Structure 1
Amino acid sequence: MNQGSSFGRFPAVSADNGKESEKTTYAKGSDPANWLHIDPATGNISFITVPDRESEYVVNGTYTATILAINNDDVPSTTATGTIVLRVEDTNDNIPIIKNLQPCICDNTKSLSVTAFDPDQSPFGAPFKFTVLDGNWKIGKTEGNTAELQSLKELWPGTFKLPVKVEDNQGSGEVHNLDVKVVECTKKQPDCSLTKLGGGAVLGASAIGLMVLGSLLLLRKC
């Protein structure tokens, strides 16, 4: 379905004679995603926007809305409610996204794990194809939405950019530029909570301790 396209008319008919009332007006009852437009005079229903299967209002692939038919022949007027259940098919309207664009790793390791996310379901989502656009790196093991990037050289503390292209199962994707931070590690897990200085430099705990000691010595001399 396209935006503005009509998908049907649901006229209200009298339970007594089976005929459509000439004085019936139509309105939306429930349309949580605001996808639908209903002509108040004819009851013709069209799309305001293209339905999206990834919407929070789509449950198990279906979207439910209600319309109201107000019969003005009666005094007072009476209202009937109709329920519309739309089955929303999935399309390839999303591309894989790497959410963590600033990974942090130890200088004594040569690998980096990258995970991508795509709300589209099969066959428009995972498994993804990862391509690293840097000759100093290669793709290692891949599994579903995760890939291991392996460095071909030794890593030194600092920050560098690493372009990685991620494509879904249909070949749709784009390049993501990772800002990879490499830090010295004394444990298995990297400590990325380093104190930043001007110009992008960082100081570890030992350097900060030396600065404090230097300040104390200076005070004693004074």
Structure 2
Amino acid sequence: MALSDKIRRFLQRISKPTYTVGKGNQVSFWTTGVHHVQFGGGNLIPENCAFADKTLLGFRTTLGTNNYFGGKAILGKYCQIGRDVAFHSTNHPISHLTTYINRQLFNGELKALKTEQPIRIGNDVWVGHGVIVLAGVEVGDGAILAAGSVVTQNVEPYTIVAGNPAKPLRKRFSDKIIGELLLLKWWDLPEDQILKLKPLFFQTLDEVQSIQDFLIPLK
């Protein structure tokens, strides 16, 4: 590696410092609202993320830069969140005289008219770049929210959705495989059992009829 590259990398590291919170949670110095976060362990929070209310991050769930949590949100284990993703679990009032709830009107008293519905994201969910998830949405385990989607309704487990508003494209696997995966709940297994399942993680599941053969080592 050239000296100039080493210098550039060094400058990048010192300009994007991180600190450790709890058990192995790495948080960027440039993230705000961390006091709202309940960490599950092994979480990675890069720069320019913001948390406005109580947020629960499951074990080893990682965020992308510029993630915004504008209200209560619960994320499961082993989720990966892309860049510029926003979770909006609050809504401005739409049945009153105004939607304006800024402190510059009545000292912000109109904020009491906001509504809130927590967002719940399952385990092993992939949220693509630029996704917006709106209030009250529940996303099932193993789902994929395609880049740029605006998710306004619940998403079934192991389903790919895309668009604005997001619509189901297809299920990732057969109903039988999905049922078996939901029973397996690999994300809840201890490390030693996940290691025994390693071959399953490298298998293309649309080429098998059942995952049972891969579960023999667990017995």
TM-score (norm 2): 0.21
TM-score (norm 1): 0.21
Q: Which has the higher contact order (CA 8 A, sep 6+)?
A: 1
* Higher strand proportion (structure 1 or 2): 1
Instruction: Select the structure of larger CA radius of gyration.
Output: 1
